[in-house]
Amino acid sequence: MSLEFSIPNVLNLSAILIIGVSVIYGSKAIKNLYSDEFAATINWLLILVEAIFIVHLIIFLLFFFDIYSDLLVIFVLVSVIFLAMLFFFASYKIIQFLELYSFEKKELSGSSIEELIKKRQRAARKERRGS
């Protein structure tokens, strides 16, 4: 249980501190958003930052307890793949929200508005069948 003051350690520790502070600020800001849909979209950004925080915390603990086995390194690398996938889902949700917002404000082209109307009708039919 020791922590050397090498460049990776210092960078890792500062990353944990900065990411931790940004998680706190982000979670406070999300409470003031104007609609639930918008908050759900922005929440994906916070989930991403939280996931990065957890990965860095695991790396910090690896350093702190002097654990360096291949299995743990693979675990960290798999979590990086997970982060990349989270990025994909976050961008998918953002685009979905932007389409919905533009649809409500009528800023999309005629053909895409028609497609969105059809999508909404299909979703409404499914909901009716479900209930």
Partner 1 sequence: MADYYYVFFLTSSILLYTLVVFVFSFTKIRATRVKDIFRMFFFGLLLFTVSQISLLVATVSTGFRFDFFVMVNSFFSFVLSIFAVMAIMEAEKFSREILSEANHK
Contact 49, 27 (CB under 8 A): no
Judged on CB neighbours under 10 Å (0-12, 13-18, 19+), 102 is middle
Q: How far is CA 69 from CA 7, 19, 72, 74, 83, in A?
A: 21, 26, 5, 9, 22
Residue 3 near partner 1 by CB under 8 A: no
Q: Whose Cβ is closer to partner 1: residue 117's or residue 124's? A: 117
Residue in 1, 71, 88, 130 binding partner 1, rule: CB under 8 A: 88
Contact 39, 33 (CB under 8 A): yes
Residue 5 near partner 1 by CB under 8 A: no
Residue in 84, 128, 130, 131 binding partner 1, rule: CB under 8 A: 84
Residue 69 near partner 1 by CB under 8 A: no
Q: Which residues contact 13 (CB under 8 A, 6 or more apart)?
A: 60
Applying CB under 8 A, which residues contact partner 1? 6-8, 11-12, 14-15, 18-19, 22-23, 25-26, 29-30, 32-34, 38, 42, 45-46, 48-49, 52-53, 55-56, 59, 63, 68, 70, 73-74, 77-78, 80-81, 83-85, 87-88, 90-92, 94-95, 97-99, 101-102, 105, 107-108, 112
